[in-house]
Amino acid sequence: MYLGALLSFFSVGVTLGVLIRLSLIAPGAILNAQQYNEVFTVHGIIQIFLFIIPGIPVAFGNFFLPIMIGARDVAFPRLNRLTLWLYLAGAAIVMLSLFIKGAPPDTGWTFYAPYSIQTKTNVSLAVLGVFVLGFSSIFTGLNFVTTIHRMRAPGMKWFRLPLFVWTLYATGWVQILATPVLAITLVFIVLGRVFGVGFFDPSKGGDPILYEHLFWVYSHPAVYIMVLPAMGIISEIMPTFSRRNIFGYKAIVFSALAIASVGYFVWGHHMFTSGMSDTARIVFSFITFLVAVPSGVKVFNWVATLYKGSIEVDSPLLFALSFIFLFSIGGLTGLIVGSLAPNLHVHGTYFIVAHFHYVMFGGVGFSFLAGLHYWFPKMFGRMFSEKVAKIGWFFFFIGFNVLYFSMFILGYQGMPRRYFEPPPQYHGWSVVSTVGSWLLAVGLIIIFSNLIRALFKGPKASSNPWGGGTLEWSIPSPPPAENFIEIPVVESGPYGHGKRE
């Protein structure tokens, strides 16, 4: 149910993204300036709050977390159902803001004050929808942490946990601790709009910079809510398709916990140009570089796992390798953005847009598709066409890089983001970027057409088609209602790979 809802919203978000790119090569022909602001705002809200943040934990975590630790279900099944209804309710409220009297929100997905308090568009409804979605995220994190602590099968010690479970555990704590900050901040926005309370209004003694602090105190840890489970999927796929145990299991575990911990302290790098002391800038810049270290550890371990392995290049591995490549570009450009001098040049340009999409879409999007192809046979009991999946991957990968690497060039040249009509000197690369969006869309159409066809006409899948070594591959495809007839006893770990069937 979650997977169907997520992918429905994702398709809307992608359609709006292509519309944005079309508008930028023919300003005014498709969207006027106000409509452009509304479309990129709604695109951001849908992709961030309805797809990327909840995506991997709710679609794959809810399904596979209990199986991977040898449990019949999550600790709180009814709470799990409530998180689904809260997710759908929040999404419905966000969608309602697009259609009821008044214009859709036009603030950008960050809802920056004081504009979000002053605009006459339906910001209050959109903010309320995101507020409700926050509770869904908190309850999911609470459920996962409790499940991992209390529901592990006999013998499933902490350092026998699959790495995907470890990343869900780290993510769960971030969801529980960071999300309430966003909820409080959004309440302040509504109080300002409805009752005139001046938390962020300078004319009433408030401070708009306070909004930025509160928003990014949540939203930078939210990057790790998105990316940590993505890294967990890659850590499952690499040993399976290289026919080796994962290299440096404990290093990956501790790096995940380090990312989740240090990630709380780096929010200030979003605000280097907003006005803060030089000391604060230096400290935030240093911590930004520090948080890159555990990410580098993971990349090293994934590549080392492939070394001298019997590599089988199936579609899940192609998406996983693409993740490593694209996320590395996103991470390295993040260090450019986190450096004080380059930040002053590229802040507020398309360089930031490109960096953001390489981390979020290049990271989470490719990992989500890697996980979907990896676990599709287990979830649905059907196999898809490998040939078509690889063709879809090719178009998607090429289109992604044409679309977003062009933005790095545009940003380096100085093109400001959020412009409805790009200045003439940037038109060439803007057209190249738009062509990339077409290739990317073609790739997605091929990928999902292949999976939808497999749902109905794909050959039956065996219990372990890839040769995975974790517990989900020891039960039938699709899993029975309560996963296990008898709770397994775990006698070894960590897991690497098994035998293909």
Task: Tell me the Ramachandran region of residue 383: left when phi exceeds 0, alpha when psi lies from -120 to 50, beta otherwise.
Answer: beta
CATH code where residue 63 lies: 1.20.210.10
Q: Residue 317: what pLDDT? A: 95
- Determine the Cα–Cα distance for residues 299 and 383; give it in Å rounded to an integer: 29
> Could you tell me how far CA 462 lies from the centroid of its own chain?
30
297 in Cβ contact with 262 (< 8 Å): no
Assigned domain for 487 exists: no
Using a 10 angstrom Cβ sphere, with 0-12 exposed, 13-18 middle and 19 or more buried, the burial of residue 43 is buried
SS3 category, 468: strand
End-to-end CA distance of the chain: give it in Å, rounded.
28
**Owning domain of residue 467:** 2-474
Q: What one-character DSSP code corresponds to residue 71? A: -
SS3 category, 460: strand
282 in Cβ contact with 343 (< 8 Å): no
SS3 category, 475: coil
Number of domains in the chain: 1
Assigned domain for 499 exists: no
SS3 category, 398: helix
Task: Tell me the Ramachandran region of residue 46: left when phi exceeds 0, alpha when psi lies from -120 to 50, beta otherwise.
Answer: alpha
Assigned domain for 489 exists: no
Task: Select from 410, 415, 420 the least CA-distant residue to 23.
Answer: 420
Residue 1: other Cβ atoms inside 10 A: 12
Segment 118-133, tens digit of pLDDT: 888 899 999 999 999 9
Assigned domain for 481 exists: no
- Determine the Cα–Cα distance for residues 48 and 1; give it in Å rounded to an integer: 19
Assigned domain for 480 exists: no
The pTM (predicted TM-score) of the whole model is 0.94
Q: What one-character DSSP code corresponds to residue 481? A: T
Assigned domain for 497 exists: no
Q: Residue 495: what pLDDT? A: 58
- Determine the Cα–Cα distance for residues 263 and 155; give it in Å rounded to an integer: 32
Assigned domain for 501 exists: no
- Determine the Cα–Cα distance for residues 260 and 225; give it in Å rounded to an integer: 8
CA distances from 379 to 162, 257, 485 (A): 18, 28, 18
Q: What one-character DSSP code corresponds to residue 119? A: -
pLDDT in tens, the chain (501 residues): 999 999 999 999 999 999 999 999 888 888 889 989 999 999 999 999 999 999 899 999 999 999 999 898 999 999 999 999 999 999 999 989 888 877 889 898 999 988 899 888 899 999 999 999 999 999 999 999 999 999 999 988 999 899 999 999 999 999 999 899 999 999 999 999 999 888 998 888 889 999 999 999 988 888 888 899 999 999 999 999 999 888 989 999 999 999 988 888 989 889 998 888 899 999 999 999 998 899 899 999 999 999 988 888 999 999 999 999 999 999 999 999 999 999 989 999 999 999 999 999 998 999 999 999 999 999 999 999 999 999 999 999 999 999 999 999 999 999 999 888 888 899 999 999 999 999 999 999 999 999 999 999 989 998 889 988 888 988 998 998 888 888 888 887 665 566 666
Which residues on adjacent β-strands are paired with residue 416?
Answer: 349
Concatenate the DSSP letters of all residues of 38-51 into one string: HHHHHHHHIIIIII
Task: Select from 251, 172, 185 the least CA-distant residue to 212.
Answer: 185
Assigned domain for 495 exists: no
- Residues 6 or more apart whose CB falls under 8 angstroms from that of 158 comprise none
Q: Residue 481: what pLDDT? A: 86
Q: Residue 101: what pLDDT? A: 77
- Determine the Cα–Cα distance for residues 159 and 173; give it in Å rounded to an integer: 18
338 in Cβ contact with 289 (< 8 Å): yes
